[in-house]
Amino acid sequence: MLKLNLPVLFAQKGMRVSDAEKRTNLARSTLYRLYNNEATRIDFDSIEKLCKLLDCTPNDLFIISDD
């Protein structure tokens, strides 16, 4: 299963969802769904915003889990 690695990346940056909301202009509800891996899709614009915010690549943003 493909998952977003946001909890780890946010913790490394000392960041909360509310911080990401202010800096990316993504909706808080969207960010919470992404953070909790409840989203079923993500668009390229959101991936780009998150990568810029977290200073990472898309490869860092996603993980493959056996769950």
- Confidence bin at 46 (pLDDT 50/70/90): very high
- Confidence bin at 67 (pLDDT 50/70/90): confident
- Are 50 and 6 in contact by the 8 Å Cβ rule? The answer is yes
Taking the C-alpha atoms of residue 38 and residue 12, their distance in angstroms, rounded to an integer, is 21
Q: What is the CATH number of the domain that holds 33?
A: 1.10.260.40
Two tokens, residue 21: 């909301």
The pTM of the whole model exceeds 0.75: yes
Residue 46 lies in a domain: yes
Residue 67 lies in a domain: no
Q: State the DSSP H helix or E strand holding residue 24, giving kind and residue range, or none if neither.
A: helix 17-24
Residue 34 lies in a domain: yes
The more confident residue out of 54 and 66 is 54
**Total count of domains within the chain:** 1
What range defines the domain where residue 28 resides? Answer: 2-62
Q: For residue range 4-15, list pLDDT tens digits in order.
A: 999 999 999 999
